[in-house]
């Protein structure tokens, strides 16, 4: 009886996934919304029935999507199905919301790296090298057309060219941030629906309580020192490592800084709208305020400012 129920739920989950997948594939503008619901059926099924039945639903869903749409669209299906499988299994194990986010992020990053490796190895196409060449051609064309421009405009263009070239070395950081962001959106979209379906999804801790391991500050400082005083050249492998580690940890300490501001306002009984406005202004105004936020995050990581506020 139980096996029949599992098979029926698996068939229904596969059918729902295929409906969402076909809408996402063939209706362009609607796909911006529907693609975030692709992991939902397998999250629900795996959360209720564990890992092995979830793997079976993943395989069947992939094969059917391949038959219905060809080769390329199932790549997107694999991306969302695997993260949904991992998140559903962690949900089945009663893990916390942050652990579920971490699992989904790692699954996303794994698929991105896998696809990138397949494209480079078997098709001999490096997407980032193609983007770099396209940007170089665009800048060359713009410089030819800017013969009548002022000298300041040319300097700004050179700075922009250097910034865009630097982006080509930050592919790993972009992969990590993309994987985490997609997993976060998936979890935020799925949580209210899963709770409506009576799946016990854990609550997120308040943002003011978000903390990262204190050891991260040493990695951040080490990457900063190497970047400033290491005299690294762009063609060195250590340059790529340091640039990507620093970029990721910079984002981490920024989040830590925002969380501290939320905690400070909470401790001082300041309305929640104030830290929200601070976040919006910081993101919109540029590097100066964000630099201050990162410094706060570093101090909070190193000296545990929240514990000191509690004592007071």
CB atoms within 10 A of CB 279: 17
Residue 203 DSSP SS3: coil
Is the model more confident about 231 or about 186?
186
Alpha-carbon distance of 112 to 159, in angstroms, equals: 30
pLDDT higher than threshold 60 for residue 147: no
Alpha-carbon distance of 236 to 234, in angstroms, equals: 6
What is the DSSP secondary structure assignment for residue 201, as one 8-state letter? Answer: P
Which residue bears the tokens 């991105």?
Answer: 112
Alpha-carbon distance of 3 to 7, in angstroms, equals: 6
Is the model more confident about 168 or about 8?
8
> In this structure, are residues 300 and 216 in contact, taking their beta carbons and an 8 Å threshold?
no
Residue 213 pLDDT class (50, 70, 90 cuts): confident
Distances, alpha carbon 175 to alpha carbons 52, 104, 116, 127, 254, in Å: 28, 13, 10, 13, 19
Quick one: average pLDDT of 256-276?
88
Tell me the average pLDDT of the chain.
82
Distances, alpha carbon 48 to alpha carbons 15, 108, 199, 218, in Å: 17, 22, 8, 41
The torsion defined by the Cα of 105, 111, 117 and 123, in degrees rounded to 10, comes to -140
Alpha-carbon distance of 98 to 184, in angstroms, equals: 9
Summarised one tens digit per residue, pLDDT across range 276-312 is 888 888 888 777 888 888 888 888 888 777 777 776 6
Q: Which pLDDT value is given to residue 43?
A: 92
In 27-170, alpha helices (H)? 28-34, 40-49, 51-69, 73-92, 97-122, 127-145, 151-167
Burial 191-208 (b: 16+ CB within 10 A, else e): beebeeeebebeeeeebb
Is the model more confident about 285 or about 23?
23
Q: Which pLDDT value is given to residue 275?
A: 87
Write out the two tokens for 158. Answer: 């050179």
Summarised one tens digit per residue, pLDDT across range 219-247 is 888 888 887 776 777 677 777 788 888 88
Alpha-carbon distance of 48 to 46, in angstroms, equals: 5
Contacts of 98 (CB under 8 A, 6+ apart): 204, 205
Q: Which pLDDT value is given to residue 207?
A: 86
> In this structure, are residues 263 and 209 in contact, taking their beta carbons and an 8 Å threshold?
yes
pTM: 0.81
Ranges 152-161, 165-174, 262-271: which has the least confidence: 152-161
Tally the C-alpha atoms within 13 A of residue 38's C-alpha that lie toward its C-beta. 30
């Amino acid at each position: 009886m139980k096996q029949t129920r599992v098979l029926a739920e698996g068939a229904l989950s596969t059918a729902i996934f295929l409906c969402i997948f076909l809408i996402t594939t063939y209706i362009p503008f609607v796909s911006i919304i529907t693609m975030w619901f692709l992991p939902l059926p397998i999250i629900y099924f795996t959360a209720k029935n564990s890992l092995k039945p979830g793997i079976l639903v993943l395989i069947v869903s992939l094969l059917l999507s391949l038959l219905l749409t060809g080769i390329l669209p199932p790549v997107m299906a694999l991306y969302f199905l695997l993260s949904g499988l991992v998140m559903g299994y962690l949900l089945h194990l009663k893990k916390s919301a942050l652990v579920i986010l971490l699992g989904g992020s790692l699954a996303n990053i794994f698929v991105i790296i896998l696809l990138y490796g397949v494209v480079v190895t078997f098709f001999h196409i490096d997407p980032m090298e193609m983007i770099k060449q396209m940007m170089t051609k665009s800048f060359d064309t713009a410089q030819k057309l800017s013969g009548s421009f002022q000298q300041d405009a040319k300097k700004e263009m050179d700075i922009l060219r250097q910034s865009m070239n630097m982006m080509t070395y930050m592919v790993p950081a972009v992969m990590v941030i993309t994987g985490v962001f997609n997993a976060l959106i998936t979890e935020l979209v799925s949580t209210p629906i899963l709770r409506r379906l009576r799946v016990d999804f854990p609550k997120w801790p308040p943002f003011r309580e978000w903390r990262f391991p204190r050891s991260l500050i040493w990695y951040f400082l080490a990457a900063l020192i190497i970047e400033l005083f290491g005299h690294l050249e762009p063609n060195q492998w250590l340059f790529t490592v340091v640039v990507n580690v620093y970029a990721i940890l910079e984002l981490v300490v920024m989040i830590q800084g925002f969380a501290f501001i939320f905690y400070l306002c909470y401790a001082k009984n300041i309305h929640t709208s104030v830290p929200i406005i601070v976040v919006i202004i910081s993101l919109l105004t540029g590097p100066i305020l964000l630099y201050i936020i990162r410094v706060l995050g570093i101090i909070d990581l190193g000296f545990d400012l929240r514990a000191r506020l509690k004592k007071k």
